[in-house]
Structure 1
Amino acid sequence: MILVVGATGNIGRELVSRLVARGQDVRAVSRDPGGARAVLPSDVDVRDIAALPSAMDGVRALFLLQGLVDPAPVLAGAARRGVERVVYVSSMVAASYPGSGIGRQIVAGEQAVRGSGLDWTLVRPWEFQSNTLAWAGSVRAGGAVRVPSLGKPSPAVAPADIAAVSVRALVDDGHAGKVYPLTGPAELTVEEKVRVLADVLGRPVSLVVAGPVPAHEDPVVRAALVPGVCDMDTPGVLPTVAEVTGRPAHAYARWVSANATAFSPG
């Protein structure tokens, strides 16, 4: 049995579907179990996140997302119940901005995973392609993306690729003690993302840059205040997705095609 904590988000939903497709027994916990049952495969056992301790009975592998629950007590409970491995999705911020406020939280979560006594794998994604869902309302309403700045080029990664790497680490052997930094296949500017949106949607999408740029003393918080705009230096395009899964990382255009209805009026 594999327990997925955070099963209805952009990563979790992809992860559950991929695990079920591989014939794995999956249990999911959610803050909204009723809503989770509506979107997850019908043969997945869904429980309220408050029932997380009892949900670990009979579980062999555990999937955790940074920021969703405090990992330390969850991991301690998992060890007591005989869980063998954990896959923890954190962030590349753990390496690039470890001294920032959020960076310290992420590093602490990773330290809890490393010290859990379980076979662990750390998955560190860069910016998510799905962050541009924040643009969907303005694109639907007026065909425009409005941002306060253009930021820097970014190799945003598809949630599907984060899920695919996590599936390998949960199911297959050989991933214990590994740290997987993940990016997409190309560095894109905001202008390029908007052009991709227009091409995939088949209609004009304009770009409006109108400050002010949000200010914050924490560089990670500041970078996250404008979804879809990356204000951190790029790590470059990394080959990790292909190395782990055996296929190239998905392009941003593929993600837009799969989520085009979110940007379409009516």
Structure 2
Amino acid sequence: MNGAARAAAAGALCIACLPVAARAQSAAIEWTGTLGLTHRLLHERSVAGGTLLTERGPMPGAQLRAQRALPGGGAIAASLLFAGGDLDYDGRTQLGQPLSTTTRQAEAAAELLWRPHAPRPWGEAWLTAGWLGNRRLILGTPTAGGLDETSSALLAGLRWHSPDVAPAAGWRAHAEADVRVSVLHRLHVDYHGLYDRSSFEGARKRQVALRLVAMPSASPWSIGLEWARLSQDRSEVVPVYQRGALYGTVWQPPLSIRDVTLQLSRRF
């Protein structure tokens, strides 16, 4: 084969490889790992608005996210998050006596995200669907029994991702905002033998979050600061039993959670 023929064959081979290369590029998955430290402030309130208990303290956590581009400029993403810590509990017993103890909180979340369109001048719009699980283990004291409460919720929402800006030379930054509501919420309560276990429908969760992310240009590292607020009304009232006999009623009071999280992330 002469030089011209070899060049023509090479050119044809390169052209034939372009669609394959394009598909490979569009199918590439971008992974991001994040370590975070959250300060959580939780309040349970009476229907009249008075504070029943407060839980506060640090919760370290970790998140893994995967994102893949779609033909036409869209994208899909998925993330897993785990966090937990011991929080200071300041409340009262059922008899109204002051109670100070520790709540061991553990939280897990999984989320799927879909961006139907390519980024626009005003930013990106994502549809989100996720699961949020939480465990609050309130430790007992010599004068009061403990409580083990777990909740599981399915949530749907929207996310806005702003365009990048340059706040300083050599840096890029963007903002993100989330709004989510639960479509299903179940509660399970273990009274550590004092009463029979309860399982009932929880109130609707409503969550908003604002996030600021900054990164050095051309660097895989980024830092973020997130503020999030979750609130829910009083749950339904259900009967509570003691050794199979009706004892009374139980419900989850109105609840609010405020989180402030410092994040360190790396793409790989």
More strand by proportion, 1 or 2?
2
More helix by proportion, 1 or 2?
1
Tell me the TM-score normalized by structure 2: 0.23
Tell me the TM-score normalized by structure 1: 0.23
Structure number with larger C-alpha Rg: 2
Larger relative contact order (C-alpha < 8 A, sep ≥ 6)? Answer: 1
